[in-house]
Amino acid sequence: MTFPRIKSVKDSWAGVLRSVRAQAQKAYAQTLCLAQRIQYAHLCLLAKIWYLAQILPPTKEHVQQLTTMCTWFIWQGAIFRVPVSTLQLPKEQGGWALANVDGKCNMLLYARLWCLSTKDNSITTKLMRKWNLTRPIANPPNVHSLPTRIPYIRQYALDMAYVSPPGPQETIQKFKTRLYSALLQKANTGNSTSDLRIARKYPGIAWQRV
């Protein structure tokens, strides 16, 4: 794995975003319920995104555009809407488990970086070892020693300081799940908009059971 230049990252994501937008417009007229539209967004609209995210990190602008495309496709211009953060809640909490694009893209990239850093005789392994990123990262990490021309490596160090490396008996899938949960928790710190409106209106009801 080589560390890409900023221009190549933007060009690559711009091409994939155009493909996602065209696919969303083509499927817009299909008669699907909300659950089917969210499933279509996961399995079809964002399929190439999840693949690319393991190699090239998206910018905040790309993430915002992807989120807009998904919500536009899901709601079909309907008047009744709920915050995206509500749809991203687990189904057990009354949400629809819609993927958080930023969190999942970061999770896929970080997991791939970790896997590559454990292999011998690779450029990524040598660089990650040089920067002391192949072991549990101190919190707060010393990001000033990392190169500024690779900003997502600095962000990797900042985020992975909250996540312990996978244990000897832990599968990569379980590690990804734990990493994704940690990134969402970190992103939602101090954010109360993820609570369902009806749950705030009637706090005495056990909405998780409902």
Burial of 103-119, coded b for 16+ CB within 10 Å and e otherwise, reads bbbbbbbbbbbbeebee
Burial class (CB in 10 A: 0-12, 13-18, 19+), 93: middle
Quick check: 30 pLDDT over 90?
no
Quick check: 36 pLDDT over 80?
yes
With the CA atoms of 187, 49, 176 and 118 taken in that order, what torsion angle do they form, in degrees rounded to the nearest 10? -120
pTM of the shown model: 0.81
**What distance in Å separates the CA atoms of residue 129 and residue 118, rounded to the nearest whole number?**
9
Burial class (CB in 10 A: 0-12, 13-18, 19+), 151: middle
For the chain, what is the mean pLDDT?
A: 84
Q: How far apart are the first and last CA of the chain?
A: 47
Which tens digits make up the pLDDT trace of 197-206? Answer: 666 777 777 7
Bond from prior residue into 136 cis (ω within 30 degrees of 0): no
Enter the tokens of residue 192.
Answer: 């109360």
Quick check: 173 pLDDT over 70?
yes
Which tens digits make up the pLDDT trace of 130-143? Answer: 898 888 888 777 88
**What distance in Å separates the CA atoms of residue 74 and residue 1, rounded to the nearest whole number?**
35
